[in-house]
Structure 1
Amino acid sequence: MNWAKAARILVPVLIILAVAGMWLLKNSQNGSNGTGSPGVEDSNPDFALHVTENMNLEELRPYGIPIVIDFGADSCIPCKEMAPVLRQLNEELRGEAIVKFVDVWKHPSLVEGYPVSVIPTQVFIDSDGKPHMPKDPDSLGLKMYSTKDTNEHVFTTHEGGLTRDQLLWVLEEMGLER
């Protein structure tokens, strides 16, 4: 009889403690929301991989992190090869870098204003919000674009596919802190 009473009390208490423990474990990741960076929500459109409407770079620059915009298409072979890398880096580096993909065939108006003549083309913006100024532009075949009248550097791009290691190398050169 004593064991039956103890079991009736002990079992619900253990269940409550287990549920509370799981809740605490899930929600106490040092103030993080599971994205790897405090304050960067998974639903924040600024960190979404796929761009389907006009993107305002002025809203992204204040984050103070590197930005990579890949212009490609779902049906382009080199773009398909890069897609898993972009997806992984977008998830892994959320809050540390902004990684975007624009499908130029589905959303042709989104490429306007960018120097894109082939796909894939990546546009690189440093963590200070300015076009990336590579130490050695020839190492990856990076192109730098300037205005004709003022010679102001406005874009740094790469044409063609990049590997994960190559993208990480450029991101680190642009200020990615890992």
Structure 2
Amino acid sequence: MNKSKWLKILIPIVIVCVIGGVWLLKNAQVSDTEQVSSNNPDFALHVTDELDLDQLKSYGLPIVIDFGADSCIPCKQMAPVLAELNEEYQGKVIIKFVDVWKYQELAQGYPISLIPTQIFIGADGKPFNPENPADFQMNQFAATENGELAFTTHEGGLTKENFLKIFKAMGVQ
């Protein structure tokens, strides 16, 4: 066989392999995203029985935990915002809501003096440490034994715009 016949056979085979490889790569990425978001209970908004912070930190994503109550007026106002953000930012930010009146034990160990209170944790698993916490009306709490930052919180309601500014400061695209 001459060279031109080989090229006529080889070129379509290479093209089919490239197209097949791109298709496989694209579908593999979609299934990873689905595993991280829609099918995974760790990414559900409402916490009903357990808040495994170590498990949530293992995803390497920023975390927002809103401690509130279904019957609290500011919490009710924030509920649609949290639901919308949880849907829009699946796989980018973990957003959780804990009803402290139903699940008081889940709020133990957190600095909560009023509701709603949000806890912000960076993608590195450490408390979010903004350059200027006052810009976001955030409180920071240090651990008494070592003085390291233990919690970054916000007390009161937040709008979607507020959350988006915080997400941007947390490095979320």
Q: TM-score if structure 2 supplies the norm length?
A: 0.80
Match of 2:46 in 1: 50
Match of 1:15 in 2: none
Q: 4+ residue stretches of structure 1 with deviation over 6 A?
A: none
Any gaps of 5 or more consecutive residues in structure 1?
A: 1-27
Q: Tell me which amino acid in the other structure corresponds to 1:121.
A: T
- Conservation of the 8 A alpha-carbon contact between 1:47 and 1:99: yes
Task: Identify the match of residue 164 of structure 2 among 163, 168, 174.
Answer: 168
Q: After superposition, give the CA deviation of every residue in 1:118-146 in whole Å (9 maximum; x if it has no partner).
A: 00000000011110001111112100011
Cα distance in 1 for partners of 2:129, 2:91 equals 22
Match of 1:102 in 2: 98
Match of 1:61 in 2: 57
Match of 1:149 in 2: 145
Match of 1:137 in 2: 133
1:39, CA displacement in angstroms? Answer: 3.2
1:62, CA displacement in angstroms? Answer: 1.9
Match of 2:82 in 1: 86
1:57, CA displacement in angstroms? Answer: 1.1
Any gaps of 5 or more consecutive residues in structure 2?
A: 1-23
- Conservation of the 8 A alpha-carbon contact between 2:136 and 2:166: no
Greater share of helix residues, 1 or 2? 2
Q: TM-score if structure 1 supplies the norm length?
A: 0.78
Cα distance in 1 for partners of 2:37, 2:63 equals 17
Residues 90 and 65 from structure 1, CA distance in 2 versus in 1: closer, same or farther, beyond 3 angstroms?
Answer: same
Cα distance in 2 for partners of 1:152, 1:92 equals 33
Q: Tell me which amino acid in the other structure corresponds to 2:157.
A: G
1:149, CA displacement in angstroms? Answer: 2.0
Task: Identify the match of residue 111 of structure 1 among 97, 107, 110.
Answer: 107
- Conservation of the 8 A alpha-carbon contact between 1:121 and 1:157: yes
Residues 149 and 40 from structure 1, CA distance in 2 versus in 1: closer, same or farther, beyond 3 angstroms?
Answer: closer
